[in-house]
Each structure stands twice: as C-alpha cells, then as structure tokens.
Amino acid sequence: MPPVEHDSFGGRSLFGRPMQRRSFLKAVLAAGAAPGLAELLAACTGSGTGVATTAATPKIPSPSNPVRWPLSAKHPAIKAGLKPKPGSTLRIYNYADYLGPQVIKSFEAKYGVNITVSTFNDEDEALTKIASGGLGLDLYFPSYDSLGKLVGAELVRPLNHAYIGNIANVWPQFHNPWYDLGWRYSVPYSVYTTGIAWRTDMVKEDIASRSNPYDVFWDPKYAGNLAVIDDWHTMMGMVLLRSGIHDINTAKPADIRLMHNQMMDMLSKTHPRVTITMYNDLPAGQYGLAQMWSGDVVNAQYYLPKGQSADVLRYWFPSDGRGMVDNDLMVVLAQGSNPVAAHYFINYMLESKIAAKNFGYIGYQPPQNSINPDELVRDGFLPANLKTATVLPHYFDVGSRLLQLPPKADLAYHQIWQEFKAGA
C-alpha cells in the first residue's frame, strides 16, 4: 500500500526551470576556468525577473541538439573495482515516497551500508540545499532538465560505467540520451506521461472519445470540477498541445499570444484549481477531472476512500504518443563522502527485479526492458482501467519534451504564468 504524501512526485521541477537553464551552458564553459559562483554573479547581477541579459543564446539540449557535458576536473570519477565500506552511510536526497522502503532495506542488508533518505518538495528547494554543500548528500534524483545546472555548478560527479553494468537492462533510448550523451552523469530512474485523469462517477462522458480531449479544460460544464498541474511549463505545454502546437517550447510570438488568450479564457470559463495534489484530491472527490502525471494516477487508486472502487478512475494520453513525456534520473553528487556505495545503489536500482519491486511501490514506471509495457495489467502493475497510464518506449520518439527556452520566450512564458496565477 503506497504511502501518504507524494508531494510533487516524480521529479518535475515545479517552478521556473528555463530561467535557470538558460545560462547553464555559459556556466559550463565558465566552469572550465573554475570561477566561483560569486564571480559569475558579479557579471550577472541585476538579471531580475524581467531582464534577459544573456546576449548570445546558448545551445539548448534537445532531441535534435544533443549535449555531451564536459567531465568535471574538480570532481573526477571514482576508480574501478572499489567496494562500499560496510557500516558506512549512503545519503540519498529524493522526493518523499519516491523510493520503495523494501528496496532500501534489501540494499542495506546486501552491502552492510546504512541508508538515510532526506526529502525535498521541489527541485528548486533541492538545488538550493545541494548548492549550500554542507549536507554531504551522495545521491540525487533530478529530472533531465536540471542536469545542466548541476553540471554547470560542478555539483555532480561523473559516473564510472564499470560499476553500472545493469544499464543494459534499460531501454536503448537511454543508453545515449540527448540530454547527457554517453550518460556521463546520469542514469534514468522513471518515465511518465502527462495526460488527463477523470472519475467516471463525476464526469459523465468519455473524455478519451472527444475529438480533442484537452478541450475539457475550457468546457464550462466542468467549471469548478477540475484542476491543472501547478508547474508552469507542464500546464502551458498542455495549452499549446490543445491548439495543435506540438512544439511546446515554441518562441513564436503568435503562438505565445494564442497561449496567453487560451489561458485567460480557461480562467474565466472553468476557474481551475492549480495544484500538484491530484493524487489525493481526485480520489477524495474534490473534483472529477484533472491534468495529471501517469504515475500519480496509478497512485490515486490507493487514496480512494474505503468502499470506493478504483474502477471509476480513467486516464487519457494520446494513443499515438504525441503528448508530453518525461523522465527522471539518478545522479551522484560531488559533495557526498560515499560515491562508491552510490554507484552500487544506482546499479542495484537498475536490476530488473529491484526496479519492478520499486515500481510496485512508487507507481512510476522504470524504463526497464524486462517490464513489458504491453503487459503491465497482466503483470499486476496497473488495473485494467488505467492501462492508458502505461509509458511506451516509442513515446520518447514522438512525444513533446519540456526544454529550456530562449531567454525572451522564457520571460514571456513566466509573465503569462504569473498573470494566470494572479487570477487577473
């Protein structure tokens, strides 16, 4: 039985990713010359909200523009052939309940290492604390778009692939991912889609059979009965997808204007709730319809009140895979004192059996070859009515990814989001 409080589950950075991302390449370049953050700051003071100071647009990692991060000179990879010291401590930094407790226990038993798990609510909080450096954390679970910041600020340690033979168990897409060519710093942890979830007892139509299911968020019929995800890019990406714009990182002024109008229109037509606690609110009957992450809808079944059958839950994601798909990672932090155990743990999590066990607990699917995405229902990972929450490998070829935005577009997106949230 999964746990309570999956706050901001699944590693989506909740706020302001592109603002952070936009300068990372510059930072990465600068990192070669190893200046302190302070010097970078001095150069950039005053780049407030509205101020886009970066003149040259840095290269943005994207599927069509893959990035190979420089190896950190300050923090070299560990040597091969080491063993974790029994009795040592492995400090893991993660979202709450995003790692199965049995998995932790079995690792501790197998290697004699003590594991402590500290948790955070969103990635910005996490990055701030990691950057402060004093926590000595070994292992962190970011989403792929934080990687630039982590590498840029030299907070992560390159991986020694000799320890991570189980990478072979992972979907081939992730053996050389565009966000980290040669997986120098990261291995994939979970995959998820962003779609629409609803309860059949509160929504009397089959959303999936609409010609454009995203329209429901503008249908006055559902005013007050729906919620959207409190993550600016995830929510705004959905608005673009509804208008048939599959480049959810568009910087075209016309697209951005359209998005702005659509969002204000939504506000006046359905005044949605903006939250990330759908996995709790939807089962509780606070609303019947929500934009939702696939892993959260899987979890939602455990939050239903007693006597309420999970049959009422439904999830829609475009069957051709042309929606939002994302993945989370595991990285070794440079500040940790136990990088060897961290490598062993990463390898352990990629073991097919362990990954499956962990999936059963966290509800977020690992990209494992051994887990047959077509048979998740048969294998007991998903109830039949939530088969649509399955993440298929080919989604990552056709789906839309949330990327860093060029500074001007980033500013425009943020301003619209701010306006939306202010309820103007």
Residue 309 engages another protein in binding (rule: CB under 8 A): no
Residue 24 engages another protein in binding (rule: CB under 8 A): yes
| Between 208 and 267, CB nearer to another protein | 267
Residue 47 engages another protein in binding (rule: CB under 8 A): yes
Residue 40 engages another protein in binding (rule: CB under 8 A): yes
Mapping DSSP to helix (H, G, I), strand (E, B) and coil, where does residue 197 land? Answer: strand
Binding another protein (rule: CB under 8 A), the pick from 67, 104, 115, 227 is 227
Residue 262 engages another protein in binding (rule: CB under 8 A): no
> What's the min distance (Å) between Cβ of 209 and another protein?
25
Binding another protein (rule: CB under 8 A), the pick from 29, 131, 162, 181 is 131
Smallest CA-to-CA distance from 367 within 189, 194, 145 is with 189
- Give the binding range for another protein (CB under 8 A) out of 221-229, 294-302, 359-367, 375-383: 221-229
- 141 to 160, contacts with another protein by CB under 8 A? 149, 152-153
Binding another protein (rule: CB under 8 A), the pick from 273, 322, 357, 408 is 273
- Give the binding range for another protein (CB under 8 A) out of 61-69, 251-259, 270-278, 323-331: 270-278
Residue 96 engages another protein in binding (rule: CB under 8 A): no
Binding another protein (rule: CB under 8 A), the pick from 223, 253, 265, 372 is 223
Residue 46 engages another protein in binding (rule: CB under 8 A): yes
Binding another protein (rule: CB under 8 A), the pick from 1, 33, 36, 48 is 48
| Between 288 and 339, CB nearer to another protein | 288
Biggest CA–CA distance in the chain, Å, is: 62
Residue 29 engages another protein in binding (rule: CB under 8 A): no
Residue 51 engages another protein in binding (rule: CB under 8 A): yes
**For residue 67, which phi and psi values (nearest 5 degrees)?**
-125, 135
Q: What is the DSSP string of 340-373?
A: HHHHHHHHHHTSHHHHHHHHHHH-PBP-BTTS-G
Contacting residues for 415 by C-beta, under 8 A, at least 6 apart: 50
Residue 340 engages another protein in binding (rule: CB under 8 A): no
Residue 373 burial class via C-beta count within 10 angstroms: exposed 0-12, middle 13-18, buried 19 and up: middle
In this structure, are residues 143 and 25 in contact, taking their beta carbons and an 8 Å threshold?
Answer: no
CA distance 199 to 218: 18
- Residue 78 CB-half CA count within 13 A: 24
Residue 50 engages another protein in binding (rule: CB under 8 A): yes
> What's the min distance (Å) between Cβ of 408 and another protein?
14
Residue 404 engages another protein in binding (rule: CB under 8 A): no
Residue 224 engages another protein in binding (rule: CB under 8 A): yes
Residue 414 engages another protein in binding (rule: CB under 8 A): yes
Residue 122 engages another protein in binding (rule: CB under 8 A): yes
Residue 23 engages another protein in binding (rule: CB under 8 A): yes
Smallest CA-to-CA distance from 174 within 376, 326, 18, 321 is with 326
> What's the min distance (Å) between Cβ of 275 and another protein?
5
Distances 368 to 175, 209, 356 between C-alpha atoms, Å: 12, 31, 8
In this structure, are residues 385 and 313 in contact, taking their beta carbons and an 8 Å threshold?
Answer: yes
Distances 229 to 139, 158, 205, 339 between C-alpha atoms, Å: 27, 33, 22, 35
Work out whether strand 139-140 and strand 324-333 pair parallel, antiparallel, or are unpaired.
antiparallel
| Between 151 and 350, CB nearer to another protein | 151
Range 214-218, long-range pairs (CB < 8 A, 24+ positions): 214/238, 214/241, 214/242, 215/242, 216/289, 217/242, 217/266, 217/270, 217/272, 217/291, 218/242, 218/262, 218/265, 218/266, 218/269, 218/270
Letter for the amino acid at 296?
D
CA distance 128 to 366: 27
> What's the min distance (Å) between Cβ of 305 and another protein?
9
| Between 369 and 418, CB nearer to another protein | 418
Q: Which residues bind another protein (CB under 8 A)?
A: 14-16, 19-20, 23-24, 26-27, 37, 40-41, 43-51, 122, 124, 127-128, 131, 149, 152-153, 202, 223-225, 227, 267, 271-275, 284-287, 414, 418-424
